[in-house]
Amino acid sequence: MEGDWEEATFSSDDQKVGRLRLPLLSSQLPLTPATTFSFDTSQELLWVGNGFGRVFGYYGIELQRYCSFRVGNGAVHQILLHEKGVIALTSTAIHVALRRGPQIWHLAHEEMKELRCMNYSSKDMTRILVAGLQDKMVTIDIEKGIIEKQTHTDHHYIIMKRSKYIIAATDTGCVNILDPKTFSILKTWKAHASGINDMDSQHDFIVTCGYSMRQHSMMLDPLVNCFDLKNMVALPPLPFPPGAAYIRLHPRMSTTCIVVSQHGQVHIVDLMNVNTSNIKQVNTLSYISMTEISPSGEIMVLADTDCNIYLWGSPSRARFAELNNPTEFPEADESTVKIDWKSDTPLNTVGMPFYRETLLSAWPSLQIYEVGAPPPKHDLQHLNSFKLTEWGVYGRNSRDCLRNQVVRTRQVEKSNVALLAPKFLSEKGKEEAKLGITSELKPIVMADAVATELLNVQVDIPMTYRVLDIKYSKYGVADFDFGYYNNTNFAGLETHVPNSYANSLLQLLKHIPLLRNLALHHTATSCVNDGCLLCEMGFLFDMLEKANGIACHATNLLKTLSHHPQAGPLGLLEEEVSSSSISTMLQGLTRFLLDKIAQDWRSISPQSASIDQVLATTATTSIRCLNCRSEHTRPGTTFVTESLYPPTVQPISITSHQKINT
């Protein structure tokens, strides 16, 4: 809680209000206050449980109704959040549901009689330890929804927190430190004489507030007990004269705690410096029943006995979770479009819904079979010429084939499953001269041949996209007919040279007009550097432009690249790298080529900024601390922008991002 924190206001029935009243379940049931609530760890949701076994979900700072579902018959004692959904605890059952409300599993057992608290027993958050006012603790597998183990205990637990250890508060006022694996007691402190009302643990600190017997009645202690979990020692208590009822440690400021009294007085105290504190007052006419702070540390929620919920936070920034995922809302029903259906209305006007599964009409090729042709119609004149006898009719065979024979009318399919390799240019010239095919008829004959091959090939991968092998004659690669596969004016690059993995990148750079013009302009200058990649790139671009569809090769450029002293250490050469993938090598080659191009350009024109205008991106690097919010920036340029996706498990303390200047 910071100095600018105040009670949040949100819309309710077209009015700005600062609190939310829990809804009535029915006209027969009384209005009950919240028994527990918890902020969602990954979405902007607040989960509230009441005394009739129902959980409510509220969205955002305005606490909009999100969902509601029933988890049991009694009061909801605790709510835990998991990546799969919401875990709710009642006295006799554990209920797990999706955030939208549907149930995942519900577990009730004869050993579950007076459950009160639970928490994760493993770091991977796949198991929970459940305890209460009973002699057995239960370990439950969240994935399967079954009881894995039952552990006997001599203590009755009412509050359970998880840090490096499992911290459990008993109904007698003690705090037990449990081993997460064996659940054995490692350390015990007597925190309060009569009982613990609230407890929290963050990092290496434990804070508690509770009751003591004074003047023959239970009264809240005016002290907050603190314990060091790292050294296993008790720290000096914090004074709180109004009587500490509820307490929370700030999730981001490890030594800051928030203490709340039953009358709504809030103290923000530093454990290491108790003399400095910030005091707030909640505007309530009843007693505060509980409090909670969001995982981001920017919102605090309080509940009173009049069934009201209060949100406190900074007006400038208020969010529940540290890293928010999008919340799933029900899709709006789309209105049906009326179609004026006629006999000539195309079927595509009906449309298809969005689908992810394979359609029923997408039959595999193995289920496609041929059916027989319809029977031929008989000639009436031929039927009238039949002669009738005692045993039947007979007549002359009017067909050209023998009796019991039929003519195969279906076209014979070719057994070839691949495109035929083109003939060499030397062979094609002889065959065309022999058949008398002129230059005007040559494109038509070639198109018909390719179309016939493609129609008769029945394979899963289209022939156009299959790997093709280049065959060489005695005249070398110059005798191969590349025009059989490429009838455009765009020249390709051969792959039989070393480091030919760069062909796709070179083709991409060639088709950037500004970069191609700069490379051609640099080639025309007086550059005498033998290792200039920009010169070689200009020569290559000029050759591809003038080839008019004939295949070329980038041997000179790739040789210059292989002789560069930095190419080998950077893993850009195929003969020196065996484990790197092609995509990784292409990323490194892109970064290396753009930097080298800029250096080669400045070697001739050091004052010109043309290369930076074409390749460089002007950016401002901003570095901000998530704890103190201090930020400093520095300008710079970059040729390559890398997209980094931080892990979502643990937030990082320092983030760096770039703002692109427009």
Whether 601 has a pLDDT exceeding 70, the answer reads yes
Distance CA 351, CA 450 (A): 34
Average the pLDDT over 517-539 and give the result: 89
Q: Is 94 helix (H, G, I), strand (E, B) or coil?
A: strand
Average the pLDDT over 414-418 and give the result: 47
pLDDT for 177:
95
Q: Which of 47-51, 366-370, 435-439 has the lowest mean pLDDT?
A: 435-439
Task: Output the 3-class SS for 59-91.
Answer: ECCCCEEEEEEECCCCCCCEEEECCCCEEEECC
| Cα angle 637-640-644, degrees, rounded to a multiple of 5 | 105
Nearest to 615 by CA among 636, 581, 638, 642: 638
Helices (H), ranges, 421-554: 425-435, 442-456, 503-510, 513-523, 533-547
pLDDT for 160:
95
Q: Is 492 helix (H, G, I), strand (E, B) or coil?
A: coil
- In sign, the C-alpha dihedral spanning 243, 293, 112, 174 is negative
> Per-residue pLDDT tens for 109-156?
998 999 999 999 988 899 999 999 999 999 999 999 999 999 999 999
Average the pLDDT over 387-412 and give the result: 78
Distance CA 447, CA 593 (A): 40
Distance CA 379, CA 377 (A): 7
Mind giving me the DSSP string for 521-577? HHHTS----TT-HHHHHHHHHHHHHHHTT--B--HHHHHHHHHSTTTTTTT--TTT-
CB 66 within 8 A of CB 57: yes
The two most distant CA atoms of the chain are separated, in Å, by: 130
Q: Which of 150-159, 408-417, 584-593, 600-609 has the lowest mean pLDDT?
A: 408-417
pLDDT for 186:
94
Distance CA 263, CA 272 (A): 26
pLDDT for 662:
35
pLDDT for 1:
54
CB 135 within 8 A of CB 153: yes
Q: Which of 28-42, 226-240, 454-468, 639-653 has the lowest mean pLDDT?
A: 454-468
Mean per-residue pLDDT of the chain: 82
Whether 27 has a pLDDT exceeding 70, the answer reads no
Which residues sit opposite 105 in a β-bridge?
A: 96
pLDDT for 259:
94
Whether 659 has a pLDDT exceeding 70, the answer reads no
In our burial notation (b when 16+ CB lie closer than 10 A, e otherwise), range 590-606 reads bbbbbebbbebbeebee
Say what angle helices 582-604 and 513-523 make with each other, to 10 degrees: 50
Q: Is 97 helix (H, G, I), strand (E, B) or coil?
A: strand
Which residues sit opposite 214 in a β-bridge?
A: 217
Distance CA 487, CA 490 (A): 9
- Residue linked to tokens 């195969």: 408
Nearest to 604 by CA among 557, 506, 538: 538
Highest average pLDDT, of 355-369, 416-430, 451-465, comes from 355-369
Nearest to 46 by CA among 318, 296, 328, 301: 301
The predicted model scores a pTM of 0.53
Average the pLDDT over 534-539 and give the result: 92
Distance CA 595, CA 564 (A): 13
Average the pLDDT over 477-484 and give the result: 71
Distance CA 254, CA 655 (A): 20
* H or E element at residue 150: strand 146-152
Distance CA 497, CA 623 (A): 45
Distance CA 381, CA 202 (A): 103
Distance CA 467, CA 353 (A): 36
Q: How many other C-beta atoms lie within 10 A of the C-beta of residue 139?
A: 16
- Burial of residue 419 (CB within 10 Å: 0-12, 13-18, 19+) is middle
Mind giving me the DSSP string for 295-325? TTSSEEEEEETTSEEEEEE-SS---S-SSPP
CB 554 within 8 A of CB 503: yes
Q: Which of 213-222, 226-235, 316-325 has the lowest mean pLDDT?
A: 316-325
pLDDT tier at 78 (50, 70, 90 boundaries)? Answer: very high
pLDDT for 424:
64
pLDDT tier at 455 (50, 70, 90 boundaries)? Answer: very low
Say what angle helices 513-523 and 533-547 make with each other, to 10 degrees: 110
DSSP E strands: which ranges in 153-282? 157-162, 166-170, 174-178, 185-190, 195-202, 205-214, 217-220, 223-228, 233-239, 246-249, 256-260, 265-270, 273-281
Whether 230 has a pLDDT exceeding 80, the answer reads yes
Highest average pLDDT, of 71-75, 333-337, 619-623, comes from 71-75
What residue spans define the domains of the chain?
417-486, 488-609, 616-660
Beta strand pairing call for 308-313 and 6-7: antiparallel
Average the pLDDT over 623-650 and give the result: 79
CB 324 within 8 A of CB 344: no
> Per-residue pLDDT tens for 269-300?
988 888 888 888 888 888 999 999 999 888 89
Q: Which two tokens stand for residue 151?
A: 């552990």
Distance CA 361, CA 352 (A): 13
pLDDT tier at 13 (50, 70, 90 boundaries)? Answer: very low
pLDDT for 574:
83
Distance CA 504, CA 593 (A): 14
Q: How many other C-beta atoms lie within 10 A of the C-beta of residue 647?
A: 8
